[in-house]
């Protein structure tokens, strides 16, 4: 009965959930700068009766919300709400940025806007059922910023925020086959390291002994040979790391490393070298050992780049995130609830018409069933595991990365996937432009089926964990077996985070000036 009531509750609130999603989607705030999005969640959760710590673990755009109905298990979940710079797509069937912004502004791609609202809907639905049916327990709902750089969860974990959990539920919109309408089984996400290398030319006057070779009152005279400086160091670092990439980790294990150049104090005049330049690397690898090996190579590259450019250098951590840990008991229970709810349906009603409109705007013939067939089907976690393993070497235990894995080492954790709206290719080899996928994640009619399905599944799983002591104990027993005794056990991996939250860097953000509210790169 409580599950039936919960499903009806989500159906009755779907308009609210969809309205809320539009707010977060339209804000489109990026990593470590999700101020308005965080405020929105905090205000709503407080209005719903949660006690909320804003700025948890020293992160201004993070929060920790709690609600209790007597003594009982503590079940956790979270919202993410960071967008991606340079992906400012409106919730529209044609390519255009959101009103008043340029294409360079932030936008939701995965979309984290719907990730957060779906999880929130599940927790609010569970809360309503706990009140209606007097179900005892405690809900703990986190605001997790900066997931795109694997930001907040390693910090929350290291500060002890997950140590009192009995179980955790992680939801993500489907993003790759076969992980569509299922839960992860054995092969969970891997390790992610992210760091910023800063190069600083703080003594340009000593380049080639210039301080003693001329009597100019200016530290770097116009006619003097100029120190290479920070920009040259960054360029050397970038090129060297690219050229040596194949020597960092052997091919064939699904690892990746991406970089982005941050802006800092490089705007100079006259004959002065750039004083400061920064580059960020994010690596996704199966194991901690691989991440440490790559970091060692990058450190060597930084040393070499700095030495030939007359700079000093330092490395600041953005993230050190652990790999995931399976929990079959919780994965199966969550998948069973997904089966109860049923896969989302896209090929009908408003969602169908919006998809066809996108196809027409792309010059394509609208399809009778424009959505990928897999988005309306369930696949068991066991079968998804078999299909996923076909692409991986036998030794590899982890694949891709996402920092939900931090929860896995503190409590039994499930990774749930529900299909996001995804268009089927009209012909072999055709690839839709990125804006179309991003738009589908924002258009109300197309994203609602996913939000409703995920919220119901999350909510039903919370009810199971609160009302079935046998299920919860089985999940906990499995967690303790896999970790060799739970937190601190012989096989337990402690948090890797040994750094302060990297909130003070020049992360891309929205700014308010006399010109109004705009992205930091003006229109």
- The structural domains of the chain, ordered by start, are 2-186+326-483 (3.40.630.10), 193-213+220-321 (3.30.70.360)
Q: Report the distance separating Cα 407 and Cα 80, nearest Å.
A: 14
Cα–Cα dist 399/409, whole Å = 17
**Alpha carbons 505 and 287: distance in angstroms, whole number:** 27
Token representation of residue 100: 């008043």
- pLDDT tens per residue across span 168-225: 999 999 989 999 999 999 999 999 999 999 999 888 888 877 654 455 555 555 666 7
Q: Note whether 392 and 254 are within 8 A (CB).
A: yes
pLDDT(17) > 80: yes
Note the pLDDT of residue 262.
85
Q: What are phi and psi of 423, to 5 degrees?
A: -80, 140
The stretch 246-252 carries a mean pLDDT of 76
Enter the tokens of residue 78. Answer: 């979270």
Q: For position 208, what pLDDT does the model report?
A: 79
Burial of 95 (0-12, 13-18, 19+ CB in 10 A): middle
Q: Which of 120-124, 220-224, 434-438 has the lowest mean pLDDT?
A: 220-224
The owner of tokens 């692409």 is: 391
What is the model's pLDDT at position 504? Answer: 93
Q: What is the pLDDT of residue 203?
A: 86
499 contacts 316 by C-beta, under 8 angstroms = yes
pLDDT digits (tens, 9 = 90+) for 300-338: 999 999 999 999 999 999 999 999 999 999 999 999 999
Separation between Cα atoms, residue 252 and residue 70, nearest integer Å: 51
Element of type H or E holding 256: strand 256-262
Q: Report, as an integer, the average pLDDT of 340-360.
A: 96
Q: Strand, helix or coil at 67?
A: strand
pLDDT for the residue 215 = 57
8 Å CB contact between 14 and 118: no
What percent of the chain lies above the pLDDT cut of 90? 81
What confidence tens digit (pLDDT) does each residue in 128-178 have? 999 999 999 999 999 999 999 999 999 999 999 999 999 999 999 998 999
Beta strands 312-321 and 63-69: pairing type?
unpaired
Question: What pLDDT is recorded for position 437?
Answer: 95
pLDDT tier at 75, thresholds 50, 70, 90: very high
pLDDT for 228 equals 86
The DSSP secondary-structure symbol of 224 reads S
The neighbour count for residue 512, using CB atoms within 10 Å, is 8
Q: How confident is the model at residue 62 (pLDDT cuts 50, 70, 90)?
A: very high
């Amino acid at each position: 009965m409580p599950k039936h009531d919960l499903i009806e509750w989500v159906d009755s609130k779907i308009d609210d959930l969809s309205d809320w999603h539009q707010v977060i989607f339209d804000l489109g705030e990026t990593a470590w700068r999700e101020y308005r999005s965080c405020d929105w969640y905090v205000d709503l959760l407080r209005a719903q009766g949660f006690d909320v710590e804003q700025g948890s673990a020293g992160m201004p755009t993070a929060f920790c919300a709690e609600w209790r109905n007597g003594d009982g298990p503590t079940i956790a979940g979270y919202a993410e709400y960071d967008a991606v710079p340079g992906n400012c797509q409106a919730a529209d069937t044609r390519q255009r940025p959101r009103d008043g912004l340029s294409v360079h502004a932030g936008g939701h791609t995965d979309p984290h806007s719907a990730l957060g609202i779906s999880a929130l809907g599940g927790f609010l639905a569970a809360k309503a059922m706990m009140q209606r049916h007097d179900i005892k327990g405690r809900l703990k709902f986190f605001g997790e910023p900066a997931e795109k750089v694997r930001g907040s969860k390693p910090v929350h974990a290291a500060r002890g925020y997950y140590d009192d959990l009995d179980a955790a539920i992680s939801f993500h919109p489907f993003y790759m086959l076969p992980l569509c309408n299922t839960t992860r089984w054995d092969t969970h996400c891997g390790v992610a390291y992210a760091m910023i290398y800063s190069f600083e030319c703080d003594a340009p006057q000593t380049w080639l002994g210039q301080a003693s070779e001329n009597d100019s009152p200016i530290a770097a005279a116009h006619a003097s040979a100029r120190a290479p400086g920070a920009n040259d160091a960054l360029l050397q670092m970038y090129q060297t790391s690219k050229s040596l990439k194949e020597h960092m980790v052997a091919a064939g294990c699904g690892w990746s490393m991406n970089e982005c150049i941050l802006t800092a104090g490089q705007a100079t005049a006259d004959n002065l070298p750039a004083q400061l330049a920064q580059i960020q690397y994010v690596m996704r690898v199966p194991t901690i050992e691989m991440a440490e090996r790559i970091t060692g190579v990058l450190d060597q590259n930084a040393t070499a780049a700095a030495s030939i450019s007359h700079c000093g250098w330092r490395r600041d951590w953005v993230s050190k995130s652990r790999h995931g840990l399976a929990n079959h008991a919780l994965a199966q229970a969550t998948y069973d609830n997904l089966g109860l709810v049923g896969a989302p349906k896209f090929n009908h009603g408003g969602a169908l018409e919006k998809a066809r409109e996108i196809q027409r705007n792309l010059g394509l013939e609208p399809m009778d069933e424009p959505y990928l067939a897999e988005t309306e089907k369930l696949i068991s976690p066991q079968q998804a595991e078999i299909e996923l393993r076909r692409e991986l070497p036998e030794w590899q235990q982890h694949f891709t990365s996402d920092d939900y894995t931090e929860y896995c080492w503190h409590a039994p954790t499930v990774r749930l996937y529900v299909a996001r709206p995804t268009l089927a290719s009209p012909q072999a080899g055709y690839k839709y432009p990125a804006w179309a996928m991003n738009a589908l994640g924002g258009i109300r009619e197309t994203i609602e089926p996913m939000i409703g399905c995920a919220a119901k599944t999350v909510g039903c799983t919370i009810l199971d964990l609160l009302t079935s002591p046998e299920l919860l104990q089985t999940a906990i027993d499995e967690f303790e077996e896999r970790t060799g005794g739970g937190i601190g056990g012989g096989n337990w991996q402690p948090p890797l985070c040994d750094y302060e939250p990297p909130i003070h860097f020049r992360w891309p953000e929205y700014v308010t000036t006399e010109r109004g509210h705009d992205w930091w790169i003006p229109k």
